[in-house]
Amino acid sequence: MDQTTGLRLPTYADVEAAARRLDGIAHRTPVMTSRTADARTGARLFFKMESLQRTGAFKFRGAYNAIAALDADARARGVVAYSSGNHAQAIACAGTLLGAPTVIVMPTDAPAIKVAATRGYGAEVVLYDRFGEDREAIGRRLSAERGLALIPPFDHPDVIAGQGTATKELIEEVGPLDRIYACLGGGGLTSGACLAAEALSPGCAVWGVEPEAGDDIRRSLEAGRIVTIPVPQTIADGAQTTAAGAHTFPLLRAKAAGVTTVPDAALVETMRFFAERMKQVVEPTGCLGAAAAFAAGDLAGKRVGVIVSGGNVDLARFAALVSE
C-alpha cells in the first residue's frame, strides 16, 4: 500500500502469482549474449529477448495476467485498453485466449503493423488523435458505457506484476546481476523488474531508460512528484508517454537505482547492432536498454541484464532507419 495515495502496490508475491498464471502460456523467451557487446562494454551482458514473446513484446505478460485475474463475469463482459501498439496487441491476443471481448483505443499515427495485428487478434480498434485527444478519458468513457474492465498499459498492479516475470526468468536463468536496464515508458516493465530483482538478486541496481525527448519520469523523480510533459517526439513510439502512473511512480521512487536517457540516434545504432551482430529485429523502444548499456562507461567487470522489450516495427520503417 502506498501511504500517499492509498493505492495497493504489487509485491514480489504478485509477480510469483503472475508467473503461475503465465506458465505454459507466455513464452519463456531466450537470453542471448554477444561477444561484441561484451567487448564493447567490458561487461558480461545478458539480453532477455522479449522481442520474441507472444505478440512480439513483453506486454503480453501483463495483459494476460490482468485479464486472467478478472472474475468470470468481468471477462465475459470484456475489457478496454489504450495503447500505441504493443499493449494493444497483447490485450487483444490475451482476450482471445481467455474468452474476453476486447476494445482497444489506438492513436491514428500508431505503426500500421501494430494496428493490423491488433485487429487480427480479434479486437475492435477505436482510433484517436494523440496530440489532441485524451486516450485515458476515451478509455474511461468506453468502460462506463459498455461495462468493460479498463486495463491500462502500465498503471495497474496486475500488469506490473506480469511484466516482472520477465526479470524473474532472466535472473533464474543467469544468476545474480549487478545491474539491469529496462525500457521506460510509463514504468510497468521497470517497476516489475525492481520487484523481481529485489527478491532474487539483492543489491542489483535497476535502471529505467527513457528516450531523450521523453524524460518525464526522470524529471518526476528529481521533482519528487509526477511531472507531465507534452507527447514526446521520438522514434521510440512505445515510450511516448507523458507521465508516470500512480502505481509505477512510488515503486520507481522507492526501488529503482535511477533513470537515464538516450537519443534517437543511439536507438538507430542499436537497432543496427542487433540486426548485424545478433540477427534480431528489434523495435526502437526495445533498444533503449541496450543503448544505455553501451553508453554507460562504468560496466567493466559487471554482470548486466538488458530487457529487450519488443520487436514490432514496420519492416519498411526498420529498413529506412538502419540504412540511414
Write the DSSP symbol of residue 308.
E
Please pick, among 186, 192, 214, 245, the residue that the annotation labels catalytic: 214
CB 252 within 8 A of CB 272: no
Please pick, among 14, 56, 59, 187, the residue that the annotation labels catalytic: 59
Q: Which amino acid is at 4?
A: T
214 is catalytic: yes
Write the DSSP symbol of residue 32.
E
Query: Cα–Cα distances in Å, from 196 out to 148, 154, 168, 203, 314?
Result: 30, 16, 5, 12, 32
CB 49 within 8 A of CB 32: yes
Q: How far apart (Å, rounded) are the C-alpha atoms in residues 319 and 322? A: 5
59 is catalytic: yes
**Nine cell digits for residue 215:** 524524460
84 is catalytic: yes
Among residues 59, 16, 44, the alpha carbon closest in space to that of 309 is found at 59
Please pick, among 34, 51, 84, 220, the residue that the annotation labels catalytic: 84
Q: How far apart (Å, rounded) are the C-alpha atoms in residues 94 and 181? A: 26
Written as one string, the DSSP assignment of 104-167 is: EEEETTS-HHHHHHHHHTT-EEEEE-TTTS-HHHHHHHHHHHHTPEE--SSSSHHHHHHHHHHH
Please pick, among 155, 210, 237, 269, the residue that the annotation labels catalytic: 210
Please pick, among 187, 309, 310, 311, the residue that the annotation labels catalytic: 309
CB 205 within 8 A of CB 179: yes
Please pick, among 14, 50, 155, 216, the residue that the annotation labels catalytic: 216
309 is catalytic: yes
- For 302, the 3-state DSSP assignment is coil
CB 306 within 8 A of CB 209: no
Written as one string, the DSSP assignment of 177-218 is: -SEEEEE-SSSHHHHHHHHHHHHHSTTPEEEEEEETT--HHH
210 is catalytic: yes
134 is catalytic: no
Q: Residue 307 phi/psi, 5° resolution?
A: -85, 110
Catalytic sites, residue numbers: 59, 84, 210, 214, 216, 309
